[in-house]
Structures are given as structure tokens and as C-alpha cells.
């Protein structure tokens, strides 16, 4: 991401989970089986190619004890930062605000 609006690169929850899994010396294969998700899905989350959903957040909480709400909050902040760096979307928001101000 080239446009860092908030002064830092947004943190994807996969980054946090990957650090936790590496710290615990867990294998992705074993964790994916324990959680009942494919290795590819787990790997995509950990490598920031797939978002953490409410369901996967709850699975991570069950497997690792990491609070699901924390993962969802991180994902939401990440999503908002990514969208906020989309210039065409920001322009669209400006137009909506301009129209709303005239109501």
C-alpha cells in the first residue's frame, strides 16, 4: 500500500495470528486440521490474502485463545484503512457529503 494515510501500514489480523502461531511453534497443517479449515485458507489468512471472518475469528479463539472480537476489530480497522486509501472511493464520499449538505 503506497498511500499510508494513518502514518503506519495497516495491520492485517493474519500478521498477528502468524506471529502467535510462530511463537507457539505450531504447524499450520496441524492448526488447520484442528480448526477444520483447509491449509490453504489458513495460509491465505496468515499471509494477508484473505480476511478474518467472524466464523474464522471464533475458530481462532477456540484454538488459540485469542479473543475473536480483537481479531474482528483489527480486521475492521484494516478494511477501513485500505478503503480510505482508495482515491476514487474517497472522491465518491466527498460527493455524497456535498449532496447531503444541500439537503
pLDDT in tens, 17-27: 999 999 999 99
At residue 9, φ and ψ (nearest 5 deg) are: -70, 130
pTM of the model: 0.84
Would you say 57 and 72 are in contact if contact means Cβ atoms under 8 Å apart? yes
For CA atoms 15, 21, 27, 30, give the dihedral sign: negative
Residue 4 lies in a domain: no
- Distance CA(100)–CA(90), nearest Å, equals 15
Q: Give me the pLDDT at residue 9, please.
A: 82
What is the count of structural domains for the chain? Answer: 1
Domain that includes residue 27, residue range: 13-101
Around Cβ 34, how many Cβ atoms within 10 Å? 13
CATH at 68? 1.10.260.40
pLDDT in tens, 48-98: 999 999 999 999 999 999 999 999 999 999 999 999 989 999 999 999 999
Residue 3 lies in a domain: no
Residue 1 lies in a domain: no
Residue 58 lies in a domain: yes
Residue 90 lies in a domain: yes
Q: Does pLDDT of 5 surpass 80? A: no
Amino acid at each position: 500500500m503506497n498511500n499510508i494515510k494513518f502514518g503506519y501500514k495497516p495491520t492485517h489480523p493474519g500478521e498477528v495470528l502468524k506471529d502467535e502461531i510462530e511463537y507457539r511453534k505450531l504447524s499450520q497443517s496441524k492448526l488447520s486440521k484442528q480448526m477444520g479449515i483447509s491449509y490453504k485458507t489458513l495460509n491465505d489468512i496468515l499471509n494477508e490474502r484473505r480476511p478474518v471472518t467472524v466464523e474464522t475469528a471464533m475458530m481462532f479463539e477456540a484454538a488459540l485463545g485469542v479473543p475473536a472480537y480483537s481479531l474482528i476489530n483489527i480486521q475492521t480497522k484494516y478494511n477501513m484503512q485500505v478503503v480510505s486509501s482508495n482515491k476514487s472511493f474517497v472522491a465518491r464520499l466527498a460527493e455524497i457529503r456535498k449532496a447531503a449538505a444541500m439537503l
